[in-house]
Amino acid sequence: MSETTEGVDIRGYEATDADAFWELKRGFELGIGDGTGGDDKLAKYEAKLTDDYRARYLAWVERCAESDPGCVVVASATGDANAEFTDTEGEDVDDPNLVGYAFALPEEMTFIWDAAVLNEIFLAPDYRGTGVADELMTAVLDHARSQDLPLDRMVLDVDRKNERAQAFYDRYGFDHWGELVARDL
C-alpha cells in the first residue's frame, strides 16, 4: 500500500504475519486491561489470552482478510529492521517485524452497526508518535470508504480513560455517537 518516511510499510495482512500479529494483539489486549478499568480488568484480559483464543482469533482474522482484502492492514518495519528468525521446523523465514495493525470489520459485517467498524488499531510503543498510526488510520478509512455501507460512517469503541486514543480519534473527526454499555453473561 505505502511506505512511511520511518521505513515502515503499510500493507494488507498475510497469513505469514500470524505469529507477529498475535504478539501485537497481546499488546493491544493487555494495554486495554492495564489502567483503563477496575482492578480486575487486566486479570480478565490476561486470562482470555489462551492458546485456544489465539487459534480462534487468528483463524477469524484470516477469514476476514480473505473475505474483504484490505480490512486488516499491518505496519511492517523494512530494511535493516526486518530480521530473520527460525520457525518451529528450524527453517529460516522472513520475520514480518510487524509494529502495528488496524482492523476494520469486513463489509459483510457492516450491518452490525450499520456502518464501518474499526475493530482494533494498535501500534507498538516504540512507534507511537512517529506517524505510523496515521498511516494505518488512513489505510483503514480508505478501505471503509470502498465498502457498501448502510451509513457512511465509521464507528469504534474506546475506553473513556484512554486519553491518548481519545485525542487520536478526535484528530480524525470521531465524535460521540451513543455509548456502548456492557454486562457480564
Residue ranges of the domains in the chain? 2-171
20-60 tens-digit pLDDT: 999 999 999 988 766 676 668 888 889 999 999 999 999 99
- Cell numbers that stand for 117 in this block: 467498524
168-177 tens-digit pLDDT: 999 999 998 8
What is the predicted pLDDT for the residue at 3? 47
Q: What is the mean pLDDT of the segment spanning 83-111?
A: 70
What is the predicted pLDDT for the residue at 14? 96
**Pairwise pLDDT comparison (84 vs 13), residue with the higher score:** 13
According to CATH, the topology of domain 2-171 is: Aminopeptidase (3.40.630)
Strand (E) or helix (H) holding 183: none
CB proximity list for 96: less than 8 A, separation 6 or greater = 14, 16, 17, 20, 74, 76, 82
C-alpha span between 133 and 122 (Å, rounded) = 8
